[in-house]
């Protein structure tokens, strides 16, 4: 199975990189960009065949390493 993990900054946590990207988009002429938040996308190939177990495994990976839950949220998608 495959796991797709999005790690994003929690709402309210300052994201200076996102801000810089927003400014750069503005100077390229893209108007109407209100806010940019930057995060990480992680793809994991798993040998596990049970979706619920895979979800559980990846959940624990997120908590222990992939995300720092002081400042980051994570979202997991398990695919066949």
What is the smallest separation between the CB atom of 29 and other proteins, expressed in angstroms?
A: 22
Burial zone of 62 (CB within 10 Å; 0-12 exposed, 13-18 middle, 19+ buried):
buried
Picking from 45, 41, 64, the residue whose alpha carbon sits closest to that of residue 54 is 45
Under the criterion CB under 8 A, does residue 13 sit at the interface with other proteins? yes
Stretch that binds other proteins, among 25-33, 49-57, 58-66 (CB under 8 A): 58-66
Under the criterion CB under 8 A, does residue 24 sit at the interface with other proteins? no
Q: What angle do CA 7, 77, 3 make, to 5 degrees?
A: 85
Rule CB under 8 A: which residues touch other proteins? Answer: 13-14, 16-17, 20, 40, 64-66, 68, 70-71
């Amino acid at each position: 199975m495959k796991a797709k993990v999005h790690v994003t900054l929690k709402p309210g946590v300052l994201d200076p990189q996102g801000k810089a990207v927003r400014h750069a988009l503005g100077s390229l002429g893209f108007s109407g960009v209100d806010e940019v938040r930057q995060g990480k996308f992680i793809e994991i190939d798993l040998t596990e065949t049970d979706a619920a177990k895979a979800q559980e495994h990846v959940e624990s990976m997120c908590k222990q390493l992939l995300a720092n839950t002081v400042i980051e949220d994570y979202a997991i998608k398990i695919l066949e």
